[in-house]
Amino acid sequence: MSGPLSLEPGGAEQDTLAIRLAAPRRLRPRRTDDSTLALRLPRLGPDEEEISRLAAELADRIGPAVHPYEVAALLEAEGLSADVIRHRYGHPNLFSLASALYERVPRTFPEPAPASDPWRPDTVRCLLRGVLFALPGLAYLLAGPLWQPGTHLSALVVAGIVSWAWGQALGHRAHLRMTTGRREAGRTLLTGAPLGAVLATIAAAPLTGGTTVLWVVAAQSAYLAAAGVLLVLARERWLLAALSPLAVGAALLPWWEPGTLPRAGLPLLALSATLAATARALWGVLAVPAAADGPRPRLAVSLPYGLFGLAAAVLVLLEGRRHPYAVIALTVSMGPAEWLLYRYRGWSVAALRRATAPTGFLLRSAGILGLCLFAYLAPLLPAALVTGAPPTELLLLAATLWTALLLQAFGAAWPPAGICVLAAGCAGAAALLRLPPGAALPLCCGVAALCLSACALRLLGRPAPHM
C-alpha cells in the first residue's frame, strides 16, 4: 500500500469497487399470444368486425326492412340467442343489434317478382274449339244431295235452336256441379244430354214431313248433345278425331263424286265416333270416386244461360238467312272470342295491380274492353267483305255476342240474357212482318251492343269482380 485510501466521494474509487444502488430499469411489455391462456377483461363495446360480417351475410334481407323491428324478427328467426348477441357481437340485447344492422345496411326496395297470370289461355285449345264449332257443317255438304235440305230447312233450324239453348243451360249446370266433383258433373251430363236431344227432335218433328228428315233431325240433335258433353269435359281432341271422316270426305269433293253410300256413310261414321267418344268420356268421369255431395244448385240458376243461347241462335239464324258464309266465319271466330275472354280477365288483373285509384282502374278497364273488342272484330271485317255480308251488320252481331259472353263469364247472367232476348225478339218480329232485314238486325244488334257495353263498364269497371 503506498498511502491511505481516500474516503471522500467522487474519487477514483468510483471506477473501482464500490457499493452501488441498482437503478430502476424499464421493463418491456411481453406480447401475449391469443393462443395461450391469459386473463382478459370483458369487451367494453360492439365488435364492429363481427357486426359487419353479419350485415354482409343478411344484407339482401335487411335492405328491404322499413323498421329495425323487422330486422329483430329476422335475427330471431335466424336463431341468435341473447348470449351470442352479448359475447360475439358486443350488444346488450336483440333490439340493439337490430338497430345497428338497420343503420349499417342501406335501404333497398326491389321490385316484386312478376306474378303468374292465372287467366293465361290455352291458345291451341281455343282455336281448336272454333274449328270444331264449324266443322259439323261439312255433314250437310256431304249428305245434302240425298234428301234436299232446302225444302225441310225449318225442321233443322228449330231443332238447332232448341239444342243450342238447352246446351248452354246444361253446360252451365255441369260446370256448377264440377265444383263439387267430376263424377257429379258427369251424372248431370249423362242425364241432361239425352233429354236435350229428345226435346229438340220432338220440337222439330211437326216440320219434318217424312221419316227421312226426322232421322236427320234426330242425328243432328244427338250430335249436338254429344259434342256439348265432350266440350264441357275438355275432350276437344277426341271430337276432332271423331269428325275426321267429314273433313276427309269434304276435302275430296272437288275431285271425286262419292256416290250415295259414302255420302251417307261418312256422316254416320262421324256421328257414331262422336257418340262412342262421349260414352268413353262419361265412363271415365263416372269412375271417379264420388265427392261429398253438397246442395244441388237450383235449376233457375241456369235459366238465363239457356235464354241467351235461344236469343243468340235466333240472331245468328236471321243473319244466316241472307249471308250463310258470313255465319260460318262468325262460328269459327268463337274460338278467338273465347281466347279474348281469358285475355280480358288477365289484363284486368294486371291493371288492378297497377291502378292507384278507382277512377284510374275504370279508365284502364274501358281501354281493355275497347282493345278486346277491336281485336275480335278486326279479323271479321275482311271476312264480311269476302262473303258479301254488310260489315256493319256482322260486326254489330259479333260485338253483341262477345260482350254478352263476357258478362256471363263474370257471373252476370240476367242482363245479357234479357238484352239479347229483347234484341232477338225485335229482329224476329221485323222478319215476320217482312220489314227490310238489312235495317232491323243491325239496329237491334247495335242497341244491344251499346247496352251490354254499358253494363260491362258498370260491372267490370270496379275492382271487386276482379279480386
Cα separation, 139 vs 142, in Å, equals: 5
Q: What is the pLDDT of residue 447?
A: 96
Q: Work out the burial of residue 83: count CB atoms within 10 Å of its CB; fewer than 13 is exposed, 13-18 middle, 19 or more buried.
A: exposed
* Neighbouring C-alpha atoms within 13 Å toward the C-beta of 55: 19
> So what's the pLDDT on residue 210?
73
Q: Which residue has the cell 253410300?
A: 261
CB atoms within 10 A of CB 121: 16
Quote the pLDDT of residue 38.
Answer: 39
* Whole-number pLDDT of residue 81: 84
Q: How many CB atoms lie within 10 A of CB 421?
A: 18
Number of alpha carbons in the 13 Å side-chain half-sphere of residue 157: 18
pTM of the model: 0.77
CA angle 97, 100, 102 (to 5 degrees): 110
Give the pLDDT confidence score for residue 44 in this predicted structure: 54
Q: How far is CA 72 from CA 68, 81, 98, 448, in A?
A: 6, 12, 5, 61
467, burial (CB in 10 Å: exposed 0-12, middle 13-18, buried 19+): exposed
Domain ranges in the chain are: 48-104, 120-297, 300-308+320-466
Question: What pLDDT sits at residue 148?
Answer: 65
Q: What residues contact residue 84 under an 8 Å CB cut-off, 6+ apart?
A: none
Q: If the chain, 467 residues long, is cut into consecutive pieces of 10 residues, what is the mean pLDDT of each piece?
A: 41 42 41 40 66 85 85 86 84 87 82 71 91 89 73 84 95 92 92 96 88 89 96 95 92 84 91 96 90 77 95 94 90 94 92 85 94 96 92 95 96 95 94 80 95 95 87
